Structure 1
Amino acid sequence: MKKAMTMILSATLATSVMAAPLAFAQDNAELTSKEVREDVATNFKKLQGKLGKIEQNKDGSFFTTIEEGESVYWLTIDKEAIVLNNLGKKAELREGASFTAYVNANKPMLMIYPPRYTPEVVIVETGEFGTVEIGTFDGDFVNKENTLKLHIADETEITNITNEKLTKDDVVGKESLVFYTASTRSIPAQTTPSKIIVLEEAMPEPIIQILDVLPGLIAQDSYEVNGVTMVPLRDLAEYYGYAVKSTGKGAVITKGNLSYEITRGQKAYTDNGVTKSFDEAPALLEKNKTYVQQDLIYILRNAQ
């Protein structure tokens, strides 16, 4: 009896020891599976069905109702949408045609029923053989699922959703639609695509804010004479690329075909041969440093 109990206890212990790694392995398998699912999650919702009656809105967009079993939704296809067939060629929308639409899942949607989608890309199916696949490709042009490897040729057309031309380097790490006809039966399958659409718009040109540095320069070194701001001629003229040549009584300021001549103590000066007048005459307000009305410096800057 004692021996039988020992065998039962041993069997129970063995079963528990075996079950623990199995449960751990199952937990790990579930975790790994979840991580993979998140890793390959797409930013684009894929819709498939047959186009219903197509109506044109006043703004030039098209509207159609899709009925798939008990599921009903609306598509609004605007002028910005890319409409191609499964061979990557421009296509027309026609009632009853099978389609696949890709909608940016991060784009705001109206909370109405039936749901209304505005797709970025609509693929109209033809009777010809052609495959369209969405995926994100690494530096070796293999998708995350390891089911497709691209051999991008010189003739492969690569654009973004605003039809701007891109290079194959722009495909790396970006969600893309790939159009191809034949592929190998290997793992991953390999193909030379005819067309690739990177599903993102081009980055906007950075806005460069040009600050007006002149007020700051004037604030550092200026005098006020009879309510007129006087600034150092040579320092500021040279800052804007002018050559300043002393005449003993004043200076000649030149840059390319531009020429200005001022004389200390005289309100009159020449602007490219035309005589003009200051409110306050240029003067030596510091030793060997001629100051002029600040308006002249603005004229020199804007004449560039």
Structure 2
Amino acid sequence: MKKKAILKILTGALCLTLITSTAAFADTGVQAGPVLADGGNDVQEVQQQEQQFVVEEGIIEQITDQGEAYRIQIKNDNMGMIFFVKADLFVFDQASGKQIAVQDLKKDMRLTAILPANAAVTLSIPAQTGHVTAFIVRSDSSSLNVSVYDDSLVNQDNTLKLNLSEKTKVLDTKGSKRLYTAEDIANKTCVVLYTVSTRSIPAQTTPENVILLEEAAPEQAAPAYVSLRAAAEAKGYQVKWTSNEKPIVLTKNDMEIQLTVGSDAFQFTHQTKDLKALDQVEKMDLPVVLQGGQTMVADSFVKDME
């Protein structure tokens, strides 16, 4: 084959390659940008505010009334979750637009749990927690967003803007009868329930319900000392004391608690899989002390003993 023929073939192949490459970029919408001298990328850093709440959604699989608390188990693609909640937990039913009681929850309901971002959660399967801020019983066609909304009622990641109407119901988790306005929503963490939104950036919606999560927490009484032996035995524990230098051991069924005089730390073990109140207590509110020959502990600690 002659050199001129070879050159024609190579030139044609090169042109075809360039045309194909150009077409590929056109189809994918990729545009070539400027190449920086240092080979890096011109990236603008965006600092996001830390989320204060997280959500866990699923279908209610089981509800058990345990007396002092309800055990509610949901199933989802994340292996499910178990919640331990008191009867006075805020529960909102989206379909009726009203607050309902925990005891009104039923199997197969679609449930969204609002949890503090720092909630204590076990490493078991399914995971368990007793730190729940609210339950939302969802409608099948609804959307939900939990975020801080700014003065313009735009959420934290700029994906949703609220346009309130006279039909928008704004309430808090305390069940107060106060009438809230847009000013009350601004710079607050809210649960927003809506069904229709625009395709703009950010999307805009007229929500059916807005639930304020940041209400002032009620003041709690300062912890006080109570007699450990009297309080523990009243709850059915056996108390074993050896000396002031060794741990005091409390036992009841499969549970064991070890305390040491002068320390606010404790050890709590049990054989059952269910989460117990003391599993979520990091340390006692007051250190263990001796007063008048009696071992004294914080009343808040005794309250969490089952």
Match of 2:81 in 1: 73
Match of 1:153 in 2: 165
* C-alpha distance in structure 2 between counterparts of 1:22 and 1:85, whole Å: 54
Give, as a single letter, the amino acid of the residue that structure 1 aligns with 2:55. K
1:195 aligns with 2:209: yes
1:54 aligns with 2:92: no
1:126 aligns with 2:139: yes
Contact preservation (8 Å) 2:112, 2:137 = yes
Match of 2:51 in 1: 42
Contact preservation (8 Å) 1:86, 1:132 = no
Contact preservation (8 Å) 2:185, 2:212 = yes
Match of 1:97 in 2: 109
- Deviation track 1:1-45 (CA, whole Å, cap 9, x = no partner) reads xxxxxxxxxxxxxxxx945454142xx35x43xx2xx33x42112
Match of 2:40 in 1: 23
Contact preservation (8 Å) 2:60, 2:107 = yes
The alpha carbon displacement at 1:172 in A equals: 0.9
Match of 1:142 in 2: 154
Give, as a single letter, the amino acid of the residue that structure 2 aligns with 1:149. K
Match of 1:117 in 2: 129
SS of the residue corresponding to residue 170 of structure 1 reads helix
Q: Aligned pair in 2 of structure 1 residues 182, 67: CA closer, same or farther (>3 Å)?
A: closer
The alpha carbon displacement at 1:145 in A equals: 1.8
SS of the residue corresponding to residue 184 of structure 2 reads helix
Share of identical aligned residues, percent?
A: 27
Give, as a single letter, the amino acid of the residue that structure 1 aligns with 2:189. E
From the two aligned structures, give the one with the greater helix fraction.
1
The alpha carbon displacement at 1:155 in A equals: 4.2
Structure 1 gap ranges (5+): 1-16, 206-304
Superposed CA RMSD in Å reads 2.9
Contact preservation (8 Å) 1:162, 1:202 = no
Structure 2 gap ranges (5+): 1-33, 220-306
Which of 77, 82, 89 is the equivalent residue of 2:90?
Answer: 82
The alpha carbon displacement at 1:113 in A equals: 3.0
* C-alpha distance in structure 1 between counterparts of 2:75 and 2:182, whole Å: 38
SS of the residue corresponding to residue 185 of structure 1 reads coil
The structure having more radius of gyration, on CA atoms, is 1
**What is the TM-score when the length of structure 2 is the normalising length?**
0.50
* C-alpha distance in structure 1 between counterparts of 2:201 and 2:59, whole Å: 32
* C-alpha distance in structure 2 between counterparts of 1:199 and 1:100, whole Å: 14
Q: Aligned pair in 2 of structure 1 residues 201, 57: CA closer, same or farther (>3 Å)?
A: farther
